[in-house]
Each structure stands twice: as structure tokens, then as C-alpha cells.
Structure 1
Amino acid sequence: MYWYKHIKIFILSASITSGLASCKPDVVAGDNRYFDIKGYFSKEAERLTQLHPHVEKTVKHNKQSESRDLGISSWNDELGLFSGSDINKPAWRNSYKVIKRGNTTVYKAKLPELKTQSITIVNSGNKVQSIDIVNHTSNLLYTSTEKLSYYPDSAYHISKMQHVRLLGVNSYDIDSRF
């Protein structure tokens, strides 16, 4: 279970990164200026928990990979990085530029210090076809870039590159298909 130990480290570091960004108060329900990422992935986790889809998951850590077929016991945890990219905080009310082109909406950060730098949502009518998120965090201890892609009822991909001072560079890729 080589990949299991490394995925725990990945999730721990992602949780710390997300936790730092969540020190601000949450938005009151219904007061969302931007797409409700947190609400969307909460509903997806609930829906997927009901469906119990079979998942083929490949975890790659610094080019070493392992694949498994498994059932996900907690979709809230599994999709946590996605829901942690919520941009509907009161302090960020005017921090994102909204660009709409056809069936695509892009939320682009106006400030480089914001964790979530962009969210791209492609719709077909009222149904989400895909969500792509780019997160970036940089401080004196580390630099981290995450690229998250989600395709409802199909797949999701997480790619993370971390550079930690004194420890070097780590890369993680998670591909899941259901």
C-alpha cells in the first residue's frame, strides 16, 4: 500500500492549505455572488454516496504509480479539495472577475495572493459538464499548485506540485474514473 501512505500525506497537506484559507467566516446561505462550489460538491458527495459507483483510481507520487479498483467510503472527504476551493467568502466579494463565453463561465482571481486562482465551469443547459480549478499557495515554507478537474458521472483528476523548503519537490496525480 505504497500509495496509501503518500495519499495520506497529500490529503494532510491539502487539508492544512485549505484550513488556512478557511479562517474567514462562511457566507450565509443564499448570499453567493459566484458559483456555489461548496454546495455543488456537497450535493455531488451526497448523490455519489447514494449511487455507490465503482471507482478505478490511480495514484502517482513522483512518477511511482499504483492503481486500485475500490468503493469510496466518504465522498465528502474524496471531493474535499474541490469543495475547499469555495470563493464565496464575504472578504472576497469583489476579488474575482467573471468571464462568460457561451456555455463557459470563468472566475479569475484579481489578486495573486488568493488561493483559488481560477474556476472554469462548462454547462450544458442547467447541467454542469465540467469544472476545472487552479489553486496556488506560496509562503516562506512552501509553494503549492493544484489543478483539479471534475466531470460528473465520469471522472476527476487532481494534480498537485509542492515545493517545500529543505524537503524538495513532490508531485502527486490522482486519476479516478467511475
Structure 2
Amino acid sequence: MYWYNKKNDIRKAAVAIAFAALFVSCSTDPATKREKTAKQIDVPAFFKQEVERLQREKPIVLKTVTKDDLSEKKELQIENWANELASFQTIDLNKPAYADVLTKDSTANTLIYSSTGPEIDLSYVEIQFNKAHKPVNWIIKRTIKNSLYQTEEVLKYYSDSAYSIEKEQSVLILGDKRYGVEATFIK
């Protein structure tokens, strides 16, 4: 019986060590976790604030809409800025899918995120800051691909000045289309 009890104790110890090893391997060092999930600029929050500001101020813009070779230009007051800037608000640098794929480069007043990996839709984000370190100019490039279509977008936003959205879309059966919106704030 003595050998049985000792064997039982060895089994219990082995199980305890296995659980401890599993528990330790699943937990991460908080410092390491913070490094991996370092927050990038909150693009949706920035554009949400811009939408709220523009809704309050109600600026008049000179807007040109283009589809392929046709274009129309109007001076107007945008009623729904959330809808107007929706393409900008969908950009989120803090998506988990971007964590290890985007590279970050910066100078005194410019921050650039870029990726050459085909696994994500975002390829380039350039943010220019004013002297108060507030974002003022944005250039965003992304490509959305699936089995039915491919869309390439270039989004530009210049605070209190202008914005543009350029899209080239290639749809499997329908062919290629080009869309564009350019707007200049008149004040």
C-alpha cells in the first residue's frame, strides 16, 4: 500500500504542476500586453468630433461629385455630416488585425502608418499635426478585395479647408467604375 500512496501523490503533484504551467502560460506580463496593444490615434473619435463640429457650424461647401466621366458641381450646405464623412469614420488603426502589420514612422509634425501586407485593407495613413499637436490633415489609402469586387480608395481631409474621396471599383460582372467627391469649404 505504501507504493500506491506514493504513486498517487506523484500523480497529484504532476497534475498540479501541469495546471500551474497551463495557468502561467496563458497569462501575459501586463507590460508586454500594454506594448502589444498600444493605442494608436483614435481616427473614428477624431472624425466624430469633426462631424459634431461641422453639424454645429453648418459651413457651406463647393462640392463636385464625379462618376466616371460625368461630374456635377454645386454650392451647398451639408445636412448630414455623419453620412458625408462616413468613409473616414470606418478607419480604425486600433483594430486587432492591424496590430502587427502596420508600421509607424514619424517626424516633428507628421505621422505615417503603412503596410505592404495584402492581408489587411489599409495600406497608408498620413496624419499631419499643427503646432498644438492636433491632427489637421489626413491622407488615407485602402484597398478592399473579395471574390466579387475590388475597391481602391484615397481619402483626404484638410480641417476647415477641403476633403475628397476617390474610389476606383472593379466589379466582376459590371466592370470598372470611378467615383469621386471633392469639397472645398467656402465659409
Report if TM-score (shorter chain) is over 0.5: yes
Q: Which runs of 4+ in 1 moved over 3 A?
A: none
Aligned with residue 140 of structure 2, among 110, 133, 146: 133
The answer to whether the 8 A contact 2:97-2:120 is kept is no
Q: Percent identity?
A: 34
Contact 1:98/1:108 (CA < 8 Å) preserved in 2? yes
Tell me which amino acid in the other structure corresponds to 1:151: Y
Give TM-score, length-normalised by structure 1.
Answer: 0.79
Q: Is the 8 A contact 1:96 1:109 kept in 2?
A: yes
Matched, 1:54 2:66: no
Q: Secondary structure, in 3 states, of the residue corresponding to 1:70?
A: strand
Gaps of 5+ in 2: 1-36
Are 1:108 and 2:143 matched, yes or no? no
- For 1:72, the equivalent position in structure 2 comes to 78
- Aligned counterpart for 2:154 among listed residues 147, 153, 173: 147
Match of 1:171 in 2: 178
> Hey, what does 1:4 align to over in structure 2?
none
TM-score (ref. length: structure 2): 0.75
- RMSD value, Cα: 1.4
Distance 1:127 1:111, change over 3 A: same
TM-superposition CA deviations, 1:116-158 (whole Å, max 9, x none):
1111001122122310000101121111100000000010011
Aligned partner of 2:93 in structure 1 is: 87
Gap runs ≥5 in structure 1: 1-30
Q: Please give the alpha-carbon distance, in whole angstroms, between the structure 2 residues aligned to 1:110 and 1:172.
A: 24
Q: Which structure has the larger Rg over C-alpha atoms?
A: 2
C-alpha offsets along residues 3-22 of structure 1, whole Å, 9 cap, x if unaligned? xxxxxxxxxxxxxxxxxxxx
Aligned to 2:177, the other structure's residue is in SS state: strand
Q: Check whether the contact 1:33–1:93 (CA below 8 A) recurs between aligned residues.
A: no
Shift of 1:58: 0.3
Higher helix share: 2
